[in-house]
Amino acid sequence: MGKPQARDEVLVTGAGGFIGSHLTASLADLGLRVRALVRYNGRADTGHLRFLTPAQQARVQVILGNVEDPGCVDAAVAGCRTVFHLAALIGIPYSYVAPRSYVTTNILGTQHVLDAARRHGVHRVVHTSTSEVYGTARYVPIDEEHPLQGQSPYSATKIAADKLAESYHLSFGLPVVTVRPFNTFGPRQSARAVIPSIIVQLLGDAQVLRLGSLEPRRDFTYVEDTVAGFVAAATADAAVGCTVNLGSGASISIGDLAARLVAMVRPGVPVESAEERVRPDRSEVMHLECHAGRARELLGWAPRVGLDEGLARTVSFLREHPAAVAGGGYTV
C-alpha cells in the first residue's frame, strides 16, 4: 500500500465482521477509499459496518457478494492497490457439523482472492490466519516456526488457506503478508467468543456464569491493536512473504478471565463449567501464548491497550449495544 494516499483504493473482504468492520473504519480514517465486501443476505444487512461514522461511511463502498464466487471476487479486486482478506467461516463448533462449508469458504474463497489479486497486479495482499492453526502449544511463547496442527476442521481449513497464500508468493511472486492474530477481543465481537459471552451473561439476569472448559489459556489482544497490525502489514515491505504473529505475549486461563470480569461487572456471581459448552477433548486447544518478536522487528508493532482497559471498553460497549453480539458464524 505504501504511504496512504487519498486516491488509493483498498478492498476488505469480511468487512461486516468484528475485525473487518474495525479495519474498514481505520482505513477510512486514513483517507483511503475502501471497498467493503460483505456476504450477501436477503436483508441487505451490512453487519457491523452500521457502527461506522457518517464520515467513515462516505469513504466506503459496500459490495454485497461472496468470496465463494470467483466472478464476484474478481470484480471487487479489480482496480484495488491493496487487499485485506478477512472473509472466513469462523465458528469452531459449527466446523464439526458442516466441515465442507469451511473448505468451500476458507480454502476456495482464499484461492479466488489470490487468483484475482494476481490477475489484477495487486501491490499487497494481507491474508488473515489464526492462532488456532498451532493447536495446543508444544512450547510457549509460540513463534511462527511452531508446528501447525489441525485440531478442528476450522483450523485445518485455515492452515490450508495459509499455505495457499504462501504458495502464491513462492510460485508467482504475489506480494502476500499473512498476519496471525491470537485472540482478538473488543466491541462488536459476537457472543460465540468467550469474552462477550461472559459479559452478556453478567449484564443479564444469569444467577450462574456458565462457560465451557475453564483451564485453557489464551493470549488476548484488543481489536484496535490487531487492526494496527493489519495496517502495518500493508505498508512494511520487509514483511512480504512472511507470516507474522499478533499477540500480547501473555496468557490467562478462562477461569481467571471469568473471575476478573465477574469482579468488574457483577461481583459474587459463581462460575461453572457446563458440559454442553465443552469442546471435544482431542479438539480443545489448551494453551495459546504469542511470541510477537517478528511483529516488532518487521512491522514496528506492539499492543498498546492492556487487558483490563480493553475489557472495560468492551463492557461499556455491550451496556450500550446489547444486540451487537448476535450471530457470529460468518465474516464473509
pLDDT in tens, 69-80: 999 999 999 999
Separation between Cα atoms, residue 21 and residue 39, nearest integer Å = 13
Distances (CA, A) of 202 to 181, 206, 269, 277: 27, 7, 8, 17
Contact 176, 166 (CB under 8 A): yes
Predicted pLDDT of residue 273: 81
Find cell 487492526 and name the residue. 227
Give me the pLDDT at residue 3, please.
44
pLDDT at 191 (0 to 100): 87
The alpha carbon of 57 is separated from its chain's Cα centroid by a whole number of angstroms, namely: 21
Residue 330: predicted pLDDT: 42
- For 280-324, how does the pLDDT look when each residue is reduced to its tens digit (9 = 90+)? 556 567 899 999 999 999 999 999 999 999 999 999 999 999 887
Separation between Cα atoms, residue 113 and residue 68, nearest integer Å: 9
d(CA 247, CA 163): 21
What is the enclosing helix (H) or strand (E) of 63? strand 60-65
- Asked if 261 and 198 count as a contact pair (C-beta separation under 8 A), the reply is yes
What are the structural domains, with CATH classification, of the chain?
9-189+221-249+289-304 (3.40.50.720)
Helix spans in the chain (H): 18-29, 54-57, 70-77, 92-97, 99-102, 109-119, 153-172, 194-203, 223-233, 254-265, 293-294, 307-320
Cβ contacts of residue 17 below 8 Å, gap of 6+? 47, 48, 86, 87, 90, 330, 331
Helix, strand, coil distribution of the chain in percent, nearest 5: 45, 15, 40
Q: Which of these, 281, 296, 315, lies nearest to 196 by C-alpha position?
A: 315
* 25, 30, 32, 36: CA torsion to nearest 10: -10
Task: Supply the DSSP symbol for 290.
Answer: B
DSSP 8-state assignment for residue 280: P
pLDDT for position 43:
83
Per-residue pLDDT tens for 211-242? 988 999 999 999 999 999 999 999 999 999 99
Average pLDDT of the chain, as a whole number: 92
Q: Is pLDDT of 150 > 70? A: yes
Which pLDDT score is estimated for 75?
98
* CA-based nearest residue to 128, from 26, 23, 283: 23
- Angstrom distance (rounded) from CA 142 to CA 207: 37
